[in-house]
Chain A
């Protein structure tokens, strides 16, 4: 399907486990972003990528790892999940740094 997709949509895991959230876009957008959305905090940027093999930290990067070997994919890995990482995670993409960001449907992650 065209657009931006995220998988899984829902995930329950346990403290200490590794979890990878997937993001795929079909527009060949250069920029991709990962945000988390929490009550009381709004949307906060975790990591972003300007192109394949180029990634940079956002506002709240600790505990997360990203990679971007292909333009269309931008996986987010929680190496050792903690309860504070329970959140809704959104991936987004845009043509350039200042152009419109298109958001995926989100992944609701619960860490027990």
Chain B
């Protein structure tokens, strides 16, 4: 069974602080996706990282895929209240009838003004 462990589970910070959340597994994934989910809504895809060691930036968000394609991190610079939400990582593996998208349990981020 493939598992994605996200840490921390909960994070509460003040506006302007930096933070990093982690997504770790013992399994190798072909790619890793990060989603943000706001209360009462479905998850929305933020980014997909595909290559081991890849770094992608989306404004104040920096995503990194581990060299071995087993882990990923999301770093937010100068967090804002609008960044509040549940951050989910999901790993892709297999193909065809064996295709699987495995989700982590998420990190619930609260950014206080």
Which residue numbers of A lie inside 8 Å of B, CB to CB?
40-45, 56, 90, 92, 97-98, 100-101, 103-106
Contacts and interface: CB of A to CB of B under 8 A. Distances in A.
Interface in B63-113: 88, 90, 92, 95-97, 99, 101, 103-106
Given A90-B42, A98-B99, A100-B48, 8 more contacts: A42-B88, A43-B103, A56-B97, A92-B42, A97-B96, A98-B92, A105-B40, A105-B41
A105 B42 contact: yes
A106 B41 contact: yes
A2 B8 CA distance: 36
B43 interface: yes
Interface string B26-46: 000000000000001111110
Contact of B105 (A41, A45, A101, A103): A41
How many residues of B sit at the interface, in one of the four size bands?
A: 10 to 19
Contact of A42 (B45, B92, B95, B106): B106
A43 B88 contact: yes
Contacts, number: 37
Given A40-B105, A42-B106, A103 B92 contact: no
B43 A43 contact: yes
A24 to B, nearest CB: 14
B103 A104 contact: no
Interface of B: 40-45, 48, 88, 90, 92, 95-97, 99, 101, 103-106
Given A42-B103, A42-B104, A44-B103, A106 B40 contact: yes
B105 A42 contact: yes
Contacts of B106: 42
Given A92-B42, A106-B41, A106-B42, A45 B97 contact: no
Nearest to A100: B45
Contacts of A106: 40-42
Nearest to B6: A42
B105 to A, nearest CB: 4
A103 B101 contact: no
Contacts of B104: 42
